[in-house]
Amino acid sequence: MGEDCACCCSLSVGIVIFILGVAIIDWIKRMQRGKASLVGEHVVITGGSSGIGKELGIKSAERGAHVTILARDVQKLEEACKEIRSRVKSSSQNINFFKADVTNYEEIESVFRRCEVEVGPIDILINCAGYAFPSKLEDIPLHHIKGMMDINYLGTAYAVRSVLSSMKSRRKGRIVCVSSVGGLVGLYGYTAYSASKFAIRGFCEALQMEVKPYGISVTVSCPPDTDTPCFEEENKVKPEETKLISASSGVFPPAKVAEDILRDTLAGDFFTTTGMDGNLSTMLNAGMSPMSSVFGLLLQTMFSGIIRLVSLGYLYSFNRIVENCASKKEKRKKLE
Ligand SMILES: *[C@@H]1O[C@H](CO)[C@@H](O)[C@H](O)[C@H]1NC(C)=O
């Protein structure tokens, strides 16, 4: 009896040590992949003239890549290009820009063909073009409901579609689509925005299954609030409830967000995010998403239940904020 117990005990300890060992080795390998050089690689970034897109251009240039940025405003593109060029590792790196509107399929396709001829095939496509117009649904100008869907979702789908056949035939490529924490959780003020960002997440999950046999990886980035020109614009129209709800999560610098995106993309992760709230949101939204890391899988398996419980605490406090704001508005109305 006692012997059985000791045997069983050492077997369990053995299994735990084995799993931990595998997880640690996997974690170290993943870190190494994340540090990979980009010398000779061609990185194309939509929405690359400002914010996270521009920072991704800088980080890619610092790792030795040829960088092409796309956006609509030529003046901003020129300035961003200059900034990216000042951070290259070697003078042989090609840093270019093209004027392009991601909502126009023919245009984006012809721009991609041109930049493939001028610089070379696209190794990494980063879809960063997007914007947010936070508002209650009943107040939002109609063109923004369509605009966010067009730029955030269609812009991503169009750009990816026009690069796929070349990536598939080369059996090489990485696709990054920038969604948002708002693409994982639906919060007050982001009704129309979240729809466009949830779309990207579903798009990526199905896409990765389509391209996996060709050695192409897909990463969906879910950044939290990031200190960009776009975020400044957003804040001008943001409802009070939305401001209060997001106040606890903080605002991250775009350089940090870009660094995380690039590292996790090169590591081959499906989800990438920055900060703890973003991390918990991706865990809550694991669903049927692919898993590339043993360590991440272990964490998810052990903590998903408890994180769901914690999420209810957040939800409770967010609902309180919305209720308080609603009753304040009622009172104000009565006074008038
Ligand atoms: C969340 O944090 C864990 C632990 O640091 C890490 O292994 C995992 O990759 C993170 N997930 C994302 C999506 O960043």
What percentage of the chain has pLDDT greater than the value 90?
90
Q: pLDDT tens-digit profile of 17-55?
A: 999 999 999 999 999 999 999 999 999 999 999 999 999
Is the distance from the beta carbon of residue 60 to the nearest atom of ligand 1 less than 6 Å? no
User: Model confidence over 78-112: pLDDT tens digits?
Assistant: 999 999 999 999 999 999 999 999 999 999 999 99
Q: Which of 50, 158, 193, 194 is catalytic?
A: 193
Give the span between the Cα atoms of 176 and 271, in whole angstroms.
Answer: 10
33-335: CATH architecture: 3-Layer(aba) Sandwich (3.40)
Q: What are the sequence ranges of the domains in the chain? A: 33-335
Q: Which amino acid is at 144?
A: H
Which residue has the least CA distance to atom 13 on ligand 1? 272
Instruction: Quick: pLDDT tens for 60-75.
Output: 999 999 999 999 999 9
Joined together, the tokens standing for residue 206 give 């199905």
Mean pLDDT for the stretch of residues 304-327? 96
Decide whether any atom of ligand 1 lies within 6 Å of the 295 Cβ. Answer: yes
| 127 CB near ligand 1 (under 6 Å) | no
Q: What integer pLDDT is reported at residue 266 of this predicted model?
A: 97
Q: What is the arithmetic mean of pLDDT over 178-185? A: 97
193 flagged as catalytic: yes
- In angstroms, the CA 53 to CA 178 distance is 9
CA neighbor of 283 nearest in space, from 311, 252, 304: 304
Mutation to probe ligand 1, out of 31, 260, 279 (largest number of atoms < 8 A from CB): 279
d(CA 99, CA 333): 48
Catalytic (active site) residue 197: yes
pLDDT at 5 over 80: no
**Structure confidence by residue, pLDDT tens digits, 127-140:** 999 999 999 999 99
What are the CA-CA distances from residue 54 to residues 51, 109, 200 (Å)?
6, 21, 20
Asked if 170 contacts 272 with a C-beta cutoff of 8 angstroms, the reply is no
**For the chain, what is the mean pLDDT?**
95
For ligand 1, atom 9, the nearest C-alpha belongs to 296
The answer to whether the CB of 279 is under 6 A from ligand 1 is: yes
Question: What pLDDT score does 7 carry?
Answer: 81
pLDDT of residue 1 exceeding 60? no
